[in-house]
Amino acid sequence: MKLLLLLGLVALAQCLVHRVPLRKTKSLRQALQEHGLLERYLKDHPYNLATKYFPTIFAVEPLQNYLNNEYFGTISIGTPGQEFTVIFDTGSSNLWVPSVYCSSPACGNHKLFNPADSSTFISTNDSLSIAYGTGSMTGFLGYDTVRVAGIDVVNQIFGLSETEPGYFFYYAPFDGILGLAYPSIASSGATPVFDNMMLEDLVSSDLFSVYLSNNEQKGSFVLFGGIDPLYTINGITWIPLSAETYWQITMESVSVGGKTVACSAGCQAIVDTGTSLLAMPNQALGNILSALGASSNGQINCKSISSLPNVVFNINGNAFPVPPSAYVIQSDGYCSLGFEGMNVPTESGELWILGDVFIRKYYVIFDRANNMVGLSPLL
């Protein structure tokens, strides 16, 4: 079996190196399918084995799954590199980390960037202020070498925090945030990391893809510049963006049990790796809770999980179901729904946020070259 896997990986590697379309040669997926080994392979190898044998082909950033609430990876900044854990957030566009100039409690228990320890740091007089759905920061901007997924991005602009008010970042298991949305929403006009990767031809394709594991399993990743074919065996549905700000798309409706319960006239949604739950307008939340037989605070009888219907998101003429196994959160014998109310007004109406509860069911491709999101159902 090991020889078969290696032969398939060689074929896959040759395709990628020479930019040959995968359909013109036998892929690893096809080789495994022909020998009845695909299902076993996917079970035994939760993320792309090709990176083990051909590490230069892909730029893979492994992510740690923390309690199914946050997914973060490790980057380094400066020369020599100072390491930080960051959320790879498709719902924002700035990179920032705590700094030695920060006096907030949140900076007392996280790693701090020290410009004096980096020979390549360049300071600026530009300030930075960012407010998230939870948490905020202020600080200033600087330039330095940022290493992400084995890629060195030279002269990358990033934020050094001076304040991180409140306690959200104090209790966060990560240090900072690396935004992967469009430059149009970057605070202080800072160029996002992935934009510099594209501008400097550091990735083979102007896209990245994300797999988020479930139940604290290993194997979550961001793949810069490529699509892992092992996660697209069920096909890819491409959805055009409705705005090049967040990764924003148009939904036609949301249904439960075949009946439309929300977004009946269409609505806007963003695919956001930085949001743990599935957020929606408060009225829509009430409708969904009622349709699922949950209490007003989202609590539900754990014994009823097996009989609950899918919540279906109808997008670009296609149905994307989220089953109860994905949207019910079980903890200490209690069960609640992974939905939350959040009124976020936009020019086209209130915004939905398809966070990790949704993303865990799909391999998501964020295509900057064509301004589209690709969704491939996971097994």
Catalytic residue check, 44: no
> Do residues 208 and 227 touch, judged by C-beta distance below 8 A?
no
Q: Domains of the chain, with CATH numbers? A: 2-44 (no CATH), 62-224 (2.40.70.10), 232-377 (2.40.70.10)
> Do residues 229 and 11 touch, judged by C-beta distance below 8 A?
no
pLDDT at 346: 72
pLDDT at 4: 38
Q: What band does 55 get if pLDDT is binned at 50, 70 and 90?
A: very low
Query: How would you classify the pairing of strands 82-89 and 176-179?
Result: parallel
> Do residues 274 and 177 touch, judged by C-beta distance below 8 A?
yes
pLDDT in tens, 195-248: 999 999 999 999 999 999 997 789 999 999 999 999 999 999 999 999 999 999
Query: Choosing from 89, 144, 175, 356, which is the catalytic residue?
Result: 89
State yes or no: pLDDT of 367 exceeds 70: yes
pLDDT in tens, 151-198: 999 999 999 999 999 999 999 999 999 999 999 999 999 999 999 999
> Do residues 132 and 70 touch, judged by C-beta distance below 8 A?
no
Q: What is the pTM of this model?
A: 0.85
Catalytic residue check, 356: no
At residue 344, what are phi and psi to the nearest 5 degrees? -120, 95
Q: What is the mean pLDDT of residues 119-129?
A: 97
For all residues of the chain together, what is the average pLDDT?
88
Type of residue found at 301:
N
Query: Choosing from 175, 195, 272, 356, which is the catalytic residue?
Result: 272
State yes or no: pLDDT of 24 exceeds 90: no
Structure tokens at 332: 């200490």
Structure tokens at 155: 């002269």
State yes or no: pLDDT of 338 exceeds 50: yes
C-alpha closest to that of 213 among 20, 46, 37: 46
Task: Name which of 5-9, 36-40, 268-272, 339-343 the model is least confident about.
Answer: 5-9
